[in-house]
Amino acid sequence: MSYDKNNIFAKILRGEIPCKKIFENDYVLSFHDINPQKKIHALVIPKGEYVDLDDFNKKASDKEIIEFHKALSHVPSLLGATGKGYRVLSNIGSDGGQEVPHLHFHIFAGEKIGKMVI
């Protein structure tokens, strides 16, 4: 799938749509999900144009991959979830249930997250 520059997260990255920002650096943006499924529900996205994890791992630079991976631990620490536990999840493609075609990881925290797959 080619990257759709009009997807909602691309618009957030361009500042065309607001978000409740948690963390940002040159490579990564994290913000609260607009429709939280748990007490804490954050999203972490790369700033580059990648459709999903497969696309990212094929095309991103080592620096982008390292910074994205580090952010997946840094954001929970900012949210006070380190030590208590949390869940990191990424939906990929139609069978995976991906709705927004810009790579994102969900971070669920703040309560018992429950079954791994509903």
The yes or no reply on residue 100 touching ligand AMP (CB under 6 A) is yes
Residue 27: CB atoms within 10 Å: 18
To the nearest whole angstrom, how small is the minimum distance from the Cβ of residue 17 to ligand AMP? 6
Among 2, 6, 35, 94, binds ligand AMP (CB under 6 A): 35
104 in catalytic set:
yes
- Identity of the residue, 29 or 60, whose beta carbon is nearer to ligand AMP in the bound complex: 29
Q: 5: closest CA among 100, 90, 105, 104?
A: 100
- Using CB under 6 A, list all residues that contact ligand AMP: 8, 17, 19, 33-35, 43, 91, 97-100
